[in-house]
Amino acid sequence: MKKILVTGGAGYIGSHAVVELYQAGYQPVIVDDFSNSQESVLAGIEAILGTAVPFYRVDCADEAALRGVFAAEAGIAGVIHFAAFKAVGESVLKPLAYYRNNLDSLLALLAVMPEFGVKSLVFSSSCTVYGIPDALPVTEATPTKKATSPYGATKQMAEDILTDVAAAGGPRTILLRYFNPIGAHASARIGELPLGVPNNLVPFITQTAAGIREKLTINGSDYDTVDGTNVRDYIHVVDLAKAHVVAVRRLLDAVGADQVETFNVGTGHGNSVLEVVHAFEQASGQKLNYSLGPRRAGDVPAIYADATKAANVLGFKTETSLADSLASAWKWQQTLTDKK
Count of residues that bind ligand UD1 according to CB under 6 A:
21
Between strands 231-232 and 271-272, the pairing is: antiparallel
Q: Please pick, among 56, 130, 151, 223, the residue that the annotation labels catalytic.
A: 151
Binding marks (x or -) toward ligand UD1, 147..186, rule CB under 6 A? Answer: -----x---------------------------x------
| Beta carbons within 8 Å of 105's beta carbon, 6+ residues apart | 7, 59, 60, 61, 81, 83, 84
Radius of gyration of the chain (CA): 19
* Residues in 190-229 at the binding interface with ligand UD1, rule: CB under 6 A: 199-201, 204, 216-219
Nearest distance, CB of residue 180 and ligand UD1, angstroms: 5
Nearest distance, CB of residue 176 and ligand UD1, angstroms: 12
Compare residues 132 and 323 and give the one whose CB is closer to ligand UD1. 132
Binds ligand UD1 (CB under 6 A): choice among 126, 173, 262, 325: 126
Q: Please name which of 177, 3, 193, 165 lies closest in space to residue 79, comparing C-alpha atoms.
A: 3
Compare residues 285 and 294 and give the one whose CB is closer to ligand UD1. 294
Compare residues 281 and 299 and give the one whose CB is closer to ligand UD1. 299
Whole-Å CA distances, 132 to 230, 231, 242, 301:
12, 12, 27, 7
- For the chain, the residue count is 340
* Residues in 295-334 at the binding interface with ligand UD1, rule: CB under 6 A: 296, 299-300
Whether the CB-CB separation of 97 and 56 falls below 8 Å is answered with no
* Residues in 95-124 at the binding interface with ligand UD1, rule: CB under 6 A: none
State yes or no: is 130 an active-site residue.
Answer: no
Helix %, strand %, coil % of the chain (to 5): 40, 20, 40
Answer yes or no whether residue 264 interacts with ligand UD1 by CB under 6 A.
no
Element containing residue 340 per DSSP (H, E): none
Whether the CB-CB separation of 248 and 23 falls below 8 Å is answered with no
Q: Which residues are catalytic?
A: 151
List contacts with ligand UD1 (CB under 6 A).
86, 88, 126-128, 152, 180, 199-201, 204, 216-219, 230, 232, 273, 296, 299-300
